[in-house]
Amino acid sequence: MSLPSPAAKSASGLSTLEASIRRDLERLEYPKRPWVLSRQASDGRPILDVLIIGGGQSGLAAAFGLMREKVNNLLVVDDSAPGLSGPWKTFARMHTLRTPKHLTGPDLNLPNLCFQTWYEAQFGEDAWKAVGFVPKELWADYLHWYRHVLSIPVRSHTRVGALSWLPEERCFAVPVRSTDKQAPQDAPEEILLARKVVLATGIDGSGRWETPANVARLPRELWVHTRDDIDFEALRGKRIGVLGAGASAFDNASVALERGAAEVHLFYRRKTLPTVNAYRWAEFVGFLKHHGDLPDADRWRFIRRILEMGQLPPHDTYQRARALPHFFLHPESPWQDVQAVEGRAQVTTPHATFTFDKLIVGSGTVTDLSLRPELAHLVGDIALWKDRYTPPPEEAHTDLARHPYLGPGFEFQEKVPGRAPYLGSVFNYTFGCLLSLGFGGASISGMKYSLPRLVAGITRQLYLEDKDAYFDSLMKFDLKEFEP
Pair (187, 149) in one structural domain? yes
- Residues in contact with 161: Cβ distance below 8 Å, sequence separation at least 6, in sequence order: 174, 175, 176, 177, 189, 373, 374
Residue 327 sits in a domain of what CATH number? 3.50.50.60
Measured from the Cβ of residue 314, the count of other Cβ atoms closer than 10 Å reads 19
User: What is the per-residue DSSP string for 103-133?
Assistant: --STTTT-GGGSHHHHHHHHH-HHHHHT-SS
Measured from the Cβ of residue 380, the count of other Cβ atoms closer than 10 Å reads 13
In a domain, 260, yes or no: yes
- Rounded to 10 degrees, what is the CA torsion of 12, 16, 18, 22? 160
The pLDDT value given to residue 296 = 98
In a domain, 477, yes or no: no
In a domain, 480, yes or no: no
The verdict on whether omega for the bond into residue 31 sits within 30 degrees of 0, i.e. cis, is: yes
Q: What is the mean pLDDT of each run of 10 residues along the chain (484 residues)?
A: 64 94 96 95 97 97 98 97 91 88 93 97 95 94 97 97 97 96 81 98 95 97 96 97 95 97 97 90 95 98 95 89 96 97 97 98 95 98 98 97 98 97 98 95 90 98 98 96 88
* 8 A C-beta contact, residue 401 and residue 386: yes
Pair (196, 249) in one structural domain? no
In a domain, 234, yes or no: yes
Q: Are strands 353-356 and 164-166 parallel, antiparallel or unpaired?
A: unpaired
Pair (459, 345) in one structural domain? no
> How far, in Å, CA of 118 to CA of 95, rounded?
20
Q: Looking at the 3D structure of the chain, how many domains does it have?
A: 2
The two counts, helices (H) then strands (E), for the chain are: 16, 18
Pair (44, 127) in one structural domain? yes
Pair (238, 271) in one structural domain? yes
> How far, in Å, CA of 80 to CA of 89, rounded?
11
Last residue of a domain, one of 296, 328, 363: 363
Pair (127, 32) in one structural domain? yes
In a domain, 181, yes or no: yes
In a domain, 336, yes or no: yes
Give the distance between the most distant pair of CA atoms in the chain: 96
DSSP secondary-structure letter at 210? -
In a domain, 389, yes or no: no
The pLDDT value given to residue 205 = 96
Pair (234, 317) in one structural domain? yes
Pair (132, 216) in one structural domain? no
> In terms of residue numbers, what domain contains 108?
6-200+443-468
Pair (153, 243) in one structural domain? no
Pair (29, 174) in one structural domain? yes
Pair (196, 247) in one structural domain? no
Pair (142, 270) in one structural domain? no
